[in-house]
Chains A and B, each alone.
Chain A
Amino acid sequence: MNGGARYTGMAISLHWLIALLIFAGWGLGFYMHDLPLSPAKLRYYSWHKWMGVTTFILAFLRAGWLATHPAPRLPRVIPPWQTRTARITHFVLYLLMFLIPLSGWLMSSAKGVPTVYFGVLPLPDLIGKDKALGDFLVQVHKWLAFGLAALVGLHIAAAMKHHFMDRDGLMGRMVPFLKSPRL
């Protein structure tokens, strides 16, 4: 039983790197989408897409890392329903790390504005240009992003509860320089 173990350095790095990209992606996505057409707007769209592709790639690395380096188990004192909820939340968070970039990629293709990673690597268009499908995928992309926001909110709230209310040091497993769990 290694309930006191931290996540590996790689898992911690990937977690925070992806967190940063998710917040930046949200911010830019919210800001750019109803700007009037300008060179800046198109630049923001490209940056947003590059962030998405990067997140998509990192999510693969992260899932692969998780599969070969299982997460430290949650302490036994945590009620089973909370452990279960955490597991489901984490699973859906992973799912969204794939689905949101994927929906953005498909939406770009349907809108007829392909994704060119860092302006050099064109991603293939998995679907053809289709206005109705493009408009639909915009909604899918948006609502998945809102869903992610709700789950990230829950995720942060749970982390805060463990840190400030339970004071069980659980957050130390994922936060660099924070004390490791006392359990």
Chain B
Amino acid sequence: MNARVAGSLSRWFATLLAAATLTAVAVASGIDATKSEIAATFRQMNVPVEGRFKIFHGVVNFDPVNLTAARARIEIDTASFDLGAPEYEEELRGKEWFDTSAYPKASFISSGVVAVGPNRFEAKGKFTLKGKTQEIKVPFTRRSDGGVQVYEGELPISRKAYAIGSAEWDDTLEDKVIVKFRITAAK
């Protein structure tokens, strides 16, 4: 692929992304937060503890017959992490953990989607948390549910890759955090 084609392609993608975002705002293919859920389960001494991000928003544009156009963009309010234990939530907003005053948002911006099986897909993209960005792959399934689309999946995330938790926690808290999501969008 020569530079001009690449350039025009990237411009085309940028236009598409902008259009998708605009469409999302206008036609509301945005995420329905009331019917969506993003949870993170960490393990301390093999004890699984699940928390949920209460506030997030974004857009999903997905058409299984036109995967190249599929896009997702999700922004998560890191201070909204709910463990059901206020004293721990307060701690998790601190510098050693999410550091929510310096990094109030985590985000996932997809760069492409491929089909990996019947009704099973994998989105590639950039996940940014606490100012650190990693390229991740997000497996998910999709189903229609009364006129809306429901995307579900789970993936392991390394907390250390995003500097979540200081070294003193390494013996107690597993590096692997399981992120589970159920995203409901209009289309």
Q: Which residues of A contact B (CB under 8 A)?
A: 37-39, 42-43, 46, 111-116, 119-120, 129, 131, 134
Q: List 9 A-B contacts (CB under 8 A).
A: A39-B171, A43-B45, A43-B172, A112-B50, A112-B85, A113-B49, A116-B47, A119-B46, A131-B84
Residues of chain A with a CB closer than 8 A to B91's CB: 37
CB-CB < 8 A to A42: which residues of B?
Answer: 44-45, 172
Evaluate contact between B46 and A129: CB separation under 8 angstroms.
no
Q: B47 contacts A112, CB within 8 Å?
A: no
Q: A131 to B47, alpha carbons, bound, how many Å?
A: 18
Residues of B within 8 A of A113 (CB): 47, 49
Majority DSSP secondary structure for residues of B touching A? mixed
Instruction: Identify B84's interface contact among A38, A111, A116, CB under 8 A.
Output: A111
**Residues in B whose Cβ lies below 8 Å from that of A119:** 45-47
Known A112-B84, A134-B84; judge A46-B168 contact (CB<8 A): no
User: What is B's interface to A at a CB cutoff of 8 Å?
Assistant: 44-50, 83-85, 87-88, 91, 168-169, 171-173
Q: How far is the CA of A46 from the CA of B49 in the complex (A)?
A: 13
Closest to A46 in B: B45
Q: Complex Cα distance A95/B169, Å? A: 38
Shortest C-beta distance, A114 to chain B (Å), equals 6
Rounded to whole angstroms, the CA-CA distance of A134 and B47 in the bound complex is 17
Cβ contacts under 8 Å, A116 to chain B: 45-47
Tell me the nearest residue of chain B to A130, going by C-beta: B84
Contact across chains for B47 and A39 when beta carbons are under 8 A apart: no
CB distance from A79 to the nearest CB of B (A): 50
Contact of A39 among B50, B84, B87, B173 (CB under 8 A): B173
Q: Please list the 5 inter-chain residue pairs (A to B) with the smallest Cβ-Cβ separation, ordered nearest first.
A: A39-B172, A119-B46, A37-B91, A46-B45, A116-B47
Docked pose: A129 CA to B51 CA in angstroms: 11
- Distance in Å from the Cβ of B174 to the closest Cβ of chain A? 12
Which of B45, B48, B85, B172 is within 8 Å of A111, CB to CB? B85
User: Chain A residues near B88 (CB, 8 Å)?
Assistant: 37
Q: Which of A37, A39, A120 contacts B46 (CB 8 A)?
A: A120
Q: Could you tell me if B84 and A114 are in contact, using CB atoms closer than 8 angstroms?
A: no
- State whether B47 touches A129 (Cβ < 8 A): no
Flag if A129 contacts B169 (CB, 8 Å).
Answer: no
Query: Would you give the shortest CB distance from B176 to chain A, in whole angstroms?
Result: 16
Query: By CB atoms of chain A within 10 A, which of B47, B50, B87, B173 has the most?
Result: B47
C-alpha gap A115/B84 in the complex (Å): 17
User: Bound complex: CA of A44 vs CA of B88, how far in Å?
Assistant: 16
**Distance, CA A131 to CA B48, complexed state (A):** 17
